[in-house]
Chain A
Amino acid sequence: MTMTQDTAPDHDIALIEFKGTTLPVLAITLRSLDPKELTSAGSTLFGEGAFFDGDLAVLDLSQLIAWPEQIEWTLIVQLLTTHGLRVLGVTRGNSALTESAANAGLPALALSAGRSVKPAPVAKKTAVADPELDKIPASLRKTPAPEASPAAPAEAAKAEPDEALLDNPGTLIIDRPLRSGQQVYARGGDLVILAAVNPGAEVIADGNIHVYAPLRGRALAGARGNAQARILTTVFAAELVSIAGIYRTFEDGVPAKLANQPVQVRLAQEPVVSISTGQKSRLEIDILRVD
């Protein structure tokens, strides 16, 4: 048998490297697919020239009620291109629309669930999260990252609290049990769970975490460093809780007075430097009293 020589040059640096990333993409909700109507609407909103700066865009088809038999996708894309947008594809359309768009070279892109873009009268910049909703980059998980990427919706929420209230970046609601090995991440928002989080499951949110069932797994709130985030559960039996990277494990089970109680976890008001752990703050875990 002849051996084939490995001809790959011995580089110190990999020529191709893979990294996950998130790009800001505009979601453009269309309520008509008639090029004429869209042209006049576009002119009213953006004038005649390139309003946008080559921004990436995805066409949200969820608000369409009627559309022509022959949809002139090329004209629609052309129109948006004149306004300075680069259309990547379509999202949230029904199967007929999606297929028609696909035939015109516009692929269906998954806008992650739980962050529906509210219909707005004017085009609004809204970041589209990566479709891998359940995954979170390892780098974000244990270390709080205060300098979030420009695309991070959490950043906007911090800077303009009123805006965040009006245009919630998306609370993720989960109503099935989370099982050992499963992980859910609410990027840029709160996580509400209406079923048990079992041992070995991990729930993460940039905002608060609410579990209206037994919390037996790991819960990490304020994953991007929001020290105001809280974890609330009706039945506390967690393996680990963390707020903004300050964590606590329960090797011998949770303290008896907290076990299986409704509990609130938050960071202490005054930062305390722990000598043993070097952590600059401390978690407060209290029985949740609802009056």
Chain B
Amino acid sequence: MTRIIVVTSGKGGVGKTTTSASFASGLAMRGFKTAVIDFDVGLRNLDLIMGCERRVVYDLVNVISGEATLNQALIKDKHCENLFVLPASQTRDKDALTEEGVEKVLKDLEHLGFEYVICDSPAGIERGAVMALTFADEAIIVTNPEVSSVRDSDRILGILQAKSKRAQAGGEPVKEHLLVTRYSPKRVEDGEMLSYKDVQEILRVPIIGVIPESESVLHASNQGTPAIHIEQSEVAEAYKDVIARFLGEDAPLRFVSYEKPGLFKRLFGG
């Protein structure tokens, strides 16, 4: 049985694509056959972050409109054996995403034996975003610790509860996970940023992880490597913890408290 997981946020620039890439990679590293789909039709960038932009021939819209088969469009990831990328179209507009078309693609992925399908949602609450969450079994709500991002996440949670197939069928609802990204414990300490507890208090969704703000994410993105592959970085460790918690393992939150630099460090620099 394929589990469909949407990575969504409402707001742009909070780390949805970074999270989709790392989350999908993390599941694949654990041995699960995983596909990650870019729903941002017209503004694709998952392929850039996955470092496969030069191998894109066919895309999601081609598959939906029957111009290519799923096998032709799926791109095998260069880092992980079990990971495949289904890129978005840069040239077509988002109306090309039909509900029937998306459902068929997801069904076909199930027939191909995929265990997890990660849907990378575009920002906003329009067609692409709604299509990405329509068939979701679980949702990762990516939120930055600032009020506008929290507000938009709240909005998208409402849409998830209204428009997803699970909500409409009235059965078991979509399982929601809160992921706080670009978190800076120091700025929280200084009162410049909401704490992850504040965010959770407003959104009231179980927290699956906190990803620290880091320069290394930008470097990794520019190189086309998902952040989870950056050896010995806090970000990679935090994403690996997210995978562990997602799979039901016990992993305490890390990188969320700020330790004041000691006297020695302050005198001589870090």
Interface residues of A, Cβ cutoff 8 Å to B: 176-182, 195-196, 198-201, 216
Contact = CB atoms under 8 A, between A and B. Distances in A.
B197 to A, nearest CB: 14
Given A182-B158, A198-B154, 15 more contacts: A176-B161, A177-B204, A178-B158, A179-B157, A179-B161, A180-B151, A180-B152, A181-B155, A181-B158, A181-B159, A182-B162, A196-B202, A199-B154, A200-B155, A216-B202
Contacts of B159: 181
By secondary structure, the B interface counts as helix
Contacts of B157: 179
Contacts of B151: 180, 199-200
Contacts, number: 30
Contacts of A178: 158
Nearest to B162: A182
A198 B202 contact: yes
Contacts of A176: 161
B177 to A, nearest CB: 15
Contact of A196 (B161, B162, B204): B204
> Which 4 residue pairs of A and B lie closest in terms of their CB atoms, listed nearest first?
A179-B158, A180-B155, A180-B154, A179-B154
Interface string B146-179: 0000011011011101100000000000000000
Contacts of B154: 179-180, 198-200
Among A176, A178, A179, A198, the most chain B Cβ lie within 10 Å of the Cβ of A179
A199 B151 CA distance: 7
21 contacts: A176-B161, A177-B204, A178-B158, A179-B154, A179-B155, A179-B157, A180-B151, A180-B152, A180-B154, A180-B155, A181-B158, A182-B162, A195-B204, A196-B204, A198-B202, A199-B151, A200-B151, A200-B154, A200-B155, A201-B158, A216-B202
B200 to A, nearest CB: 12
Interface string B177-219: 0000000000000000000000000101000000000000000
Contact of A180 (B158, B161, B162, B204): B158
Contacts of B162: 182
A198 B157 CA distance: 11
Contacts of A196: 202, 204
Contacts of B202: 196, 198, 216
A196 B204 CA distance: 9
